Amino acid sequence: MAPYTPPPASFDVVELKRVFDHDNFEKRDAYRALADEPLFVPRHNVSLSYERELALDRLKRVSETKMISVFDFERNPLNIMAAHELSGMLDPSFTTKMTVQYNLFGGTVLKLGTARHRKILEGVDAMSVIGCFALTELGYGNNAVEMETTAVWDAKTKEFIINTPSVIAQKYWITNSAVHANYAVVFAQLIFNGTNEGIHAFLVRIRDESGAPCPGVSIHDMGKKMDCNGVDNGKLSFEHVRCPREALLNRWSDVDEQGKFSSTITNRRGRFLKVADQLLAGRLCIASMILGSAKSSLGIALRFSATRETVGASGRSDTPILAYQLQQLALVPLLARTALLNCGAHVAKRAWAKAGPETPQEEYAEVVRLCCAIKPLVTWHGERCASVARERCGGQGYLSVNRMAQNVGFSHAGITAEGDNAVLTQKVAKELLAAIDNKSYKLTTHDARQAKQWDIAGDVEACVKLMQLRETVLVQKLQKDLAGLMKSGKSLYEAWMFHLSDTIQATAVAYGERICADEMLRLTKAASSGTSRILTTLLHVSLLHTLTTTPILLALNIITPEQHNSARTRLEVLVREELGPQALHVVDAWGLPSQVLRETPAASVGGTGGWDEFNAGDNRGEVFGTAGRESGRKDWKAKL
| Residue 600: pLDDT over 60 | no
Question: Which candidate, 310, 347, 352, places its Cα nearest to that of 327?
Answer: 310
Predicted confidence at residue 625, as pLDDT, reads 36
In the chain, pLDDT over 70 holds for what percent of residues?
92
Residue-by-residue DSSP string for 239-267: SSEEEEGGGB--SSEEE-TTS-EEESS-S
Predicted confidence at residue 633, as pLDDT, reads 41
Predicted confidence at residue 624, as pLDDT, reads 46
DSSP 117: G
Give the residue-averaged pLDDT of 310-328: 89
For the stretch 215-258, pLDDT in tens is 999 999 999 999 899 999 999 999 999 999 999 999 999 999 99
| Residue 446: pLDDT over 50 | yes
Tell me how crowded residue 122 is: count the other CB atoms within 10 A of its CB: 12
CA–CA separation, 332 vs 306, rounded Å? 12
Give the chain's mean pLDDT: 92
Give the residue-averaged pLDDT of 160-176: 97
Tell me how far CA of residue 207 lies from CA of 109, 233, 337, 343, 567, in angstroms.
18, 15, 45, 42, 60
Predicted confidence at residue 185, as pLDDT, reads 98
CA–CA separation, 420 vs 406, rounded Å? 20
Give the residue-averaged pLDDT of 312-330: 90
| Residue 91: pLDDT over 60 | yes
| Residue 274: pLDDT over 90 | no
Predicted confidence at residue 407, as pLDDT, reads 95
Predicted confidence at residue 366, as pLDDT, reads 96
Predicted confidence at residue 634, as pLDDT, reads 45
Tell me how crowded residue 409 is: count the other CB atoms within 10 A of its CB: 20
Residue-by-residue DSSP string for 26-67: HHHHHHHHHTTSGGGS---S--HHHHHHHHHHHHHHHHHTTS
Tell me how far CA of residue 183 lies from CA of 46, 236, 602, in angstroms.
28, 12, 42
pTM: 0.94
CA–CA separation, 566 vs 563, rounded Å? 5
| Residue 507: pLDDT over 90 | yes
Q: Of 116-120, 356-360, 537-541, where does mean pLDDT reach its minimum?
A: 356-360
Q: Which residues contact 439 (CB under 8 A, 6 or more apart)?
A: none
| Residue 636: pLDDT over 70 | no
For the stretch 367-403, pLDDT in tens is 999 999 999 999 999 999 999 999 999 988 888 888 8
pLDDT band at 180 (very low <50, low <70, confident <90, very high): very high
SS3 218: strand
Residues of the chain with CATH 1.20.140.10: 1-24+76-90+277-309+317-607
Which CATH number is 130-275's, of 3.30.1300.10, 3.20.20.70, 2.40.110.10, 3.30.470.10? 2.40.110.10
| Residue 638: pLDDT over 60 | no
CA–CA separation, 161 vs 238, rounded Å? 9
Interaxial angle between packed helices 361-392 and 404-416, expressed in degrees from 0 to 180 and rounded to the nearest 10: 150
| Residue 635: pLDDT over 60 | no
Sign of CA dihedral 237, 241, 243, 248: positive
Interaxial angle between packed helices 77-88 and 25-34, expressed in degrees from 0 to 180 and rounded to the nearest 10: 30
Question: Which candidate, 291, 433, 293, 280, places its Cα nearest to that of 370?
Answer: 280
Give the residue-averaged pLDDT of 335-357: 96
User: What is the end-to-end Cα distance of the chain in Å, rounded?
Assistant: 38
CA–CA separation, 510 vs 507, rounded Å? 5
> Across the chain, how many H-helices and E-strands are there?
25, 13
What homologous superfamily does CATH list for 1-24+76-90+277-309+317-607? Butyryl-CoA Dehydrogenase, subunit A, domain 3 (1.20.140.10)
Dihedrals phi, psi of 131, to nearest 5 degrees: -115, 165
Predicted confidence at residue 141, as pLDDT, reads 86
Give the residue-averaged pLDDT of 555-567: 96
| Residue 631: pLDDT over 70 | no
pLDDT band at 310 (very low <50, low <70, confident <90, very high): confident
Q: Of 267-271, 329-333, 386-390, 451-455, where does mean pLDDT reach its minimum?
A: 267-271
Give the residue-averaged pLDDT of 398-416: 91
Burial class (CB in 10 A: 0-12, 13-18, 19+), 170: buried
Radius of gyration (C-alpha) of the chain in whole angstroms:
26
CA–CA separation, 319 vs 550, rounded Å? 33
Predicted confidence at residue 640, as pLDDT, reads 39
